[in-house]
């Protein structure tokens, strides 16, 4: 099974194993999660590289007048 690196908003990360990209995103974004603030999920490739699977949309504040 592929290994994934899950990075949190506070800069910490952990490696987890999932069966697919879909499962990685689905399992880490369950409604029961305590809002850990996941900002990025990467998949480790067999050749040692890393491929981005999902990243949180950047938020920008717009001023309303």
Tens digit of each residue's pLDDT (9 = 90 or more) over 26-65: 998 876 555 568 999 999 999 999 999 999 887 655 555 5
- Structure token digits, residue 64: 């309303």
- Structure token digits, residue 35: 């809002």
Radius of gyration in angstroms for the set of CA atoms belonging to the chain, rounded to a whole number: 14
The answer to whether the pTM exceeds 0.85 is: no
Are 15 and 7 in contact, with CB atoms under 8 Å apart?
A: no
Tell me how far apart the alpha carbons of residues 58 and 35 are, in angstroms, rounded to a whole number.
Answer: 17
Instruction: Give the per-residue pLDDT at 37.
Output: 84
């Amino acid at each position: 099974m592929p290994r994934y690196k899950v990075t949190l908003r506070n800069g910490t990360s952990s490696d987890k194993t999932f069966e697919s990209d879909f499962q990685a995103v689905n399992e880490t974004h369950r409604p029961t999660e305590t809002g850990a603030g996941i900002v990025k999920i990467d998949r480790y490739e067999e050749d040692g590289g890393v491929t981005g699977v999902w990243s949180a949309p950047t938020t920008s504040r717009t001023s309303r007048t």
